[in-house]
Chain A
Amino acid sequence: DVKVTQSSRYLVKRTGEKVFLECVQDMDHENMFWYRQDPGLGLRLIYFSYDVKMKEKGDIPEGYSVSREKKERFSLILESASTNQTSMYLCASSLWSSSGSSYYEQYFGPGTRLTVT
């Protein structure tokens, strides 16, 4: 069974703290993604990675960085947490299609609800 896990379901941090959100997938997927989801704004892509050590900015990368040292693990880092980063963070993974002709379903983790006070 496909599985994407995230390190915490709920997290409370203080403004200015460095925050690490971890995501692990056990499906040998090449692509991994970090989104945040806010009421009325939907899912917004922060960063994604299509291979180890590779990363690409999504639509809202400011204030975030990522790390992918191993294929199964994709970390999201908030260098200095701010209150406007309070949100639900969702990780996802999918297979890679080199031909460009196929789509592979994205599988999501359960999410981490981060509160920055």
Chain B
Amino acid sequence: RKEVEQDPGPFNVPEGATVAFNCTYSNSASQSFFWYRQDCRKEPKLLMSVYSSGNEDGRFTAQLNRASQYISLLIRDSKLSDSATYLCVVNKHRGSTLGRLYFGRGTQLTVWP
């Protein structure tokens, strides 16, 4: 079973729409959670961390449910520039593997005018 599972999409939404991505992780010992963004033909970059209490950064809201081992990302008022692949990422702290990240396969989002 993969460490991180997410719906690959694609999600195609109009500008202004609200869209939500979900992700599950398999290891209950996982400590840290993130969303990375990858634009077409570019490298991944950190979008935001995900905290237990949920957190918001402008139009982006991330939620974590440790009991269900579930992470979500909500994008409100979608912009054309939000078109990208969103990667769900998990970090486990364990000895020498500190710093290693486990990436989901990514969810592709296209926002159309």
Contacts and interface: CB of A to CB of B under 8 A. Distances in A.
Contacts, number: 55
A43 B43 contact: no
Contacts of B104: 42
Given A105-B46, A110-B43, A43 B87 contact: yes
A101 B49 CA distance: 14
Interface string B24-38: 000000011010000
Contacts of A96: 98-99
Contact of A45 (B31, B45, B100): B100
Nearest to A44: B103
A97 B105 contact: no
Interface residues of B, number: 23
27 contacts: A31-B98, A33-B100, A40-B105, A41-B105, A43-B44, A43-B87, A43-B103, A45-B100, A48-B99, A50-B99, A56-B96, A58-B100, A95-B99, A96-B98, A97-B98, A97-B99, A98-B98, A100-B93, A100-B98, A101-B93, A103-B31, A103-B34, A103-B91, A103-B99, A108-B44, A110-B42, A111-B43
